[in-house]
């Protein structure tokens, strides 16, 4: 691609971005759409439309994003979101500082080296104008290479400095969030796993209570033994389903009545499979009947579950934050695989089914999952290649004879022939984040945030290994791509083939990512359409409508690896082709701006992990830096630069940096420091409320029922000091 066509592609992307931004401005003014563009504000009880200033001009959102502080982000979303912005701004800072030195120095140094053009490039037609500004344009063994060596050092030191500052800052953010005087249930409790079988004549509840009362005579409050809830969940979900359907039917009935139709007409449904077959019944009566049938059954099962299905895991509650923090860090039993104690996750993010998994089960699962993921990352092309080989049109015609008439249509056949081969790959790539999250949960991790971190790490290795290294070194992924895809249909392989220079390919890739990607992020066209359709045809009750616009969270598990890929690309090319730096700056700058808006207005966090994501981010940034430094060593060696060994200290420095960082900061991200946990609270914590916040909804006996009965059912599990 020559320079002008590169500019054209860039210009097109920019125009798309502008159009998307204008569409966003226009659509977000419509009060009907406010639940799509301002759901976070609405859920926090603010009316975004009343605040008129927002609609002054199409750039109002930018002003708002820029003027928001870190505290606003924490208040509107979570510490995790604030930490994500620290990540974006640190990366931005690294690239800006790198660009300030590298662009004015390296571009002239490379461009003025005229010795290489004639000797190195034979085909004048394909010579890339951008190549003039890259390291490739500098002659072998040239002393101009010294400038690039110094640049490599500069970038590394800038990264160390800003990462160190960021780690310290995040650590402070975490500390101030954890020492907040607000009462947070999870700070008063610990999760106990691997409880040995209770001694004869003691229930598990009594066992746990006596164990912890002996160790913490003053601060132990109560315990909640984890139960096997499979059965109760099944009934509860059935009940909830009927309740929703009842509300839906009642809403329809109210609508019908309001619209003046004959009162006799009531909503009906069939009782059989999917409501398609079976006896026709009056919906409201039928669902009421079902609910009344299920309610006593649920209560019976709830009681039975609490009494008989106790598992070897429990949540233990303390009356002091510092005791809980200290207990989570201490060894309780002589054998490490019994009475394992750790921080309790937030109630909303506990993965209940993982809690009773035993120590060795967890360890084994972990290694099995690691093996599966490693195999997936390295060899995922093999099964997909096989599937692709089978899903050709000719094969399909044999296997599924009934599609023959469809295939005869020329247009359809062309499309099918074009897309069938990579269908398996596309499906695989779309499913991969979900698959990785599923696998991470299978490890026995007790909280959603931890599972997302684990999935994010796996996804990072997948993208870096397959996308970045795959493209750059021309490895298996893209070779296989070519083998599978006889048709030049996917945009990625088209780009890869038509651009001989990887640098220019990645330049365009980054540009596409930020202009189109962030434009779409802002525009939110898919949620908008889905919401509009649902509202028009499906939703009847308030709850249903609310569900239709539920904004979701930032999705760290895929977002961070995506950013990391860009960072890896930009870092690795920043010295070789410094023109990539402005693109990286735009990616992280625009990302910061757009996501600031999204975090303040749209997304609602589904958990709070107080910035535990940061050590993982830090490690991966250092990993990207290491890759960059190793690549640089390689590139200089290719350039026959005899002082290449001068770069060898860099990877060693990175390893030392990572080691020192983890030594200094990491433990605080694993556990809560006691000086932080011992801060005074605003009010005396209501321990009963804290305890109840951990009760999963399907174990809460119907609140309308008398409280005594509830206490009764519960007292089977919790006979603590306060009740004695």
Binding interface with a copy of itself (CB under 8 A): 171-172, 174-175, 211, 214-216, 218, 322, 325-327, 329-337, 339, 363, 663-668, 671-676, 678
- For residue 704, the minimal CB distance to a copy of itself (Å) is 42
Nearer to a copy of itself, 105 or 653 (CB): 653
Nearer to a copy of itself, 598 or 672 (CB): 672
Nearer to a copy of itself, 46 or 673 (CB): 673
d(CA 598, CA 596): 5
Closest C-alpha to 560, from 410, 455, 476: 455
Nearer to a copy of itself, 333 or 516 (CB): 333
d(CA 101, CA 261): 75
Nearer to a copy of itself, 418 or 671 (CB): 671
Provide the greatest CA pair distance for the chain: 93
Report the 3 state secondary structure along 475-531. CHHHHHHHHHCCCCCCHHHHHHHHCCCHHHHHHHHHHHHHHHHHHHHHHCHHHHHHH
Residue with tokens 């990391």: 564
- For residue 401, the minimal CB distance to a copy of itself (Å) is 51
Nearer to a copy of itself, 419 or 666 (CB): 666
- For residue 684, the minimal CB distance to a copy of itself (Å) is 15
> What value, to the nearest 5°, has the Cα angle with vertex 225 and ends 224 and 231?
115
Nearer to a copy of itself, 251 or 671 (CB): 671
Nearer to a copy of itself, 219 or 422 (CB): 219
- For residue 598, the minimal CB distance to a copy of itself (Å) is 30
Q: Which residues pair with 280 in a beta bridge?
A: 270
- For residue 619, the minimal CB distance to a copy of itself (Å) is 16
- For residue 337, the minimal CB distance to a copy of itself (Å) is 5
Q: Tell me if 176 sits within 8 A of 112, measured CB to CB.
A: no
Q: Tell me if 524 sits within 8 A of 36, measured CB to CB.
A: yes
- For residue 587, the minimal CB distance to a copy of itself (Å) is 32
First vs last C-alpha separation in the chain: 80
d(CA 179, CA 676): 5
Antiparallel, parallel or unpaired: β 268-270 and 310-318: unpaired
Q: Which two tokens stand for residue 107?
A: 């571009």
- For residue 2, the minimal CB distance to a copy of itself (Å) is 54
- For residue 661, the minimal CB distance to a copy of itself (Å) is 10
Nearer to a copy of itself, 242 or 339 (CB): 339
Query: What does residue 703 show for φ and ψ, rounded to 5 degrees?
Result: -70, -25
Give the three-state DSSP class for 400. coil
Q: Which residues pair with 225 in a beta bridge?
A: 314
Q: Which residues pair with 315 in a beta bridge?
A: 191, 224
d(CA 313, CA 191): 8
Nearer to a copy of itself, 606 or 662 (CB): 662
Q: Which two tokens stand for residue 249?
A: 């039917």
Closest C-alpha to 192, from 224, 239, 160, 155: 224
- For residue 86, the minimal CB distance to a copy of itself (Å) is 16
Closest C-alpha to 343, from 713, 676, 2, 715: 676
Closest C-alpha to 141, from 586, 691, 639: 639
- For residue 171, the minimal CB distance to a copy of itself (Å) is 6
Nearer to a copy of itself, 136 or 685 (CB): 685
Distance (Å) of CA 475 to CA 487, 618, 695 = 20, 27, 51
- For residue 600, the minimal CB distance to a copy of itself (Å) is 28
Nearer to a copy of itself, 189 or 631 (CB): 189
Q: Which two tokens stand for residue 90?
A: 């640190």
d(CA 218, CA 110): 72
d(CA 639, CA 406): 57
Nearer to a copy of itself, 178 or 699 (CB): 178
DSSP E strands, 16-73: none
Q: Tell me if 615 sits within 8 A of 662, measured CB to CB.
A: yes
- For residue 674, the minimal CB distance to a copy of itself (Å) is 5
- Classify the C-alpha dihedral 246-249-254-255 as positive or negative: positive
């Amino acid at each position: 691609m020559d320079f002008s066509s590169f500019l054209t592609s860039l210009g097109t992307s920019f125009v798309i971005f502008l159009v998307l931004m204008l569409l966003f401005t226009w659509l977000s003014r419509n009060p009907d759409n406010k639940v799509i563009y301002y759901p976070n504000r609405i859920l926090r009880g603010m009316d975004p439309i009343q605040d008129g200033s927002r609609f002054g001009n199409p750039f109002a959102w930018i002003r708002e994003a820029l003027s928001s502080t870190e505290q606003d982000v924490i208040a509107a979303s979570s510490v995790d979101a604030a930490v994500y912005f620290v990540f974006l701004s640190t990366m931005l800072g690294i690239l800006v500082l790198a660009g300030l030195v590298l662009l004015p120095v390296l571009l002239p140094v490379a461009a003025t080296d005229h010795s290489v053009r004639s000797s190195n490039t034979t085909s004048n037609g394909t010579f890339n104008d951008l190549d003039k500004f890259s390291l490739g344009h500098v002659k072998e063994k040239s002393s101009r290479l010294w400038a690039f060596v110094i640049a490599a050092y500069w970038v590394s030191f800038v990264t160390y400095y800003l990462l160190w500052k960021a780690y310290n800052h995040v650590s402070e953010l975490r500390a101030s969030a954890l020492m907040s005087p607000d009462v947070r249930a999870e700070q008063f409790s610990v999760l106990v796993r691997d409880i040995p079988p209770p001694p004869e004549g003691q229930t598990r509840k009594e066992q746990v209570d006596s164990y912890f009362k002996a160790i913490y005579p003053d601060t132990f409050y109560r315990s909640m033994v984890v139960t096997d809830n499979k059965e109760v969940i099944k009934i509860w979900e059935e009940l909830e389903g009927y309740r929703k359907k009842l509300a839906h039917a009642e809403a329809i009935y109210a609508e019908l009545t309001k619209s003046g139709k004959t009162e006799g007409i009531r909503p009906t449904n069939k009782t059989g499979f999917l409501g398609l077959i079976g006896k026709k019944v009056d919906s409201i009566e039928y669902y009421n009947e079902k609910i009344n049938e299920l309610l006593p059954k649920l209560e019976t099962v709830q009681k039975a579950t609490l009494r008989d299905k106790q598992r070897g895991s429990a949540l233990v509650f303390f009356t002091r934050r510092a005791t809980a923090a200290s207990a989570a860090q201490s060894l309780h039993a002589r054998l490490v695989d019994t009475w394992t104690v750790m921080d309790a996750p937030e109630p909303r993010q506990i993965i209940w089914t993982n809690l009773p998994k035993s120590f060795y089960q967890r360890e084994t699962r972990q290694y099995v999952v690691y093996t599966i993921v490693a195999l997936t990352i390295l060899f995922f092309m093999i099964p997909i290649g096989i599937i692709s080989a089978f899903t050709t049109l000719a094969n399909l015609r044999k296997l599924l004879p009934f599609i023959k008439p469809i295939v005869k249509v020329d247009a359809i056949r062309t499309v099918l022939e074009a897309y069938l081969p990579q269908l398996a790959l596309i499906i695989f790539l779309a499913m991969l984040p979900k698959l990785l999250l599923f696998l991470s949960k299978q490890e026995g991790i007790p909280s959603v945030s931890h599972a997302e971190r684990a999935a994010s790490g796996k996804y990072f290795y997948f993208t870096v290994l397959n996308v970045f290294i795959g493209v750059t070194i021309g490895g298996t992924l893209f070779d296989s791509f070519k083998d599978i895809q006889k048709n030049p249909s996917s945009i990625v392989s088209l780009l890869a083939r038509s651009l001989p220079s990887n640098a220019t390919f990645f330049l365009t890739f980054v540009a596409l990512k930020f202009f189109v990607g962030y434009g779409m992020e802002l525009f939110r066209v898919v949620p908008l359409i889905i919401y509009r359709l649902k509202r028009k045809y499906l939703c009847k009750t308030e709850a249903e409508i609310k569900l239709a616009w539920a904004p979701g969270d930032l999705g760290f598990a895929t977002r961070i690896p995506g950013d990391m890929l860009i960072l890896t690309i930009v870092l690795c090319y920043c010295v070789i082709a410094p023109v990539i730096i402005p693109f990286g700056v735009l990616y992280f700058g625009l990302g910061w701006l757009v996501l600031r808006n999204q975090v303040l207005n749209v997304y609602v966090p589904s958990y709070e992990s107080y910035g535990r994501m940061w050590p993982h981010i830090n490690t991966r940034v250092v990993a990207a830096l290491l890759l960059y430094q190793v690549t640089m060593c390689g590139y200089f060696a290719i350039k026959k630069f005899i002082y290449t060994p001068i770069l060898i200290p860099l990877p060693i420095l990175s390893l030392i940096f990572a080691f020192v960082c983890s030594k200094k900061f990491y433990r605080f991200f694993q556990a809560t420091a006691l000086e932080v946990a011992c801060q005074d609270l605003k009010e005396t914590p209501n321990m009963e409320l804290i305890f109840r916040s951990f009760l999963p909804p399907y174990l809460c006996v119907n609140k309308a029922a008398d409280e005594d009965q509830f206490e009764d059912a519960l007292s089977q599990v919790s006979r603590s000091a306060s009740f004695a």
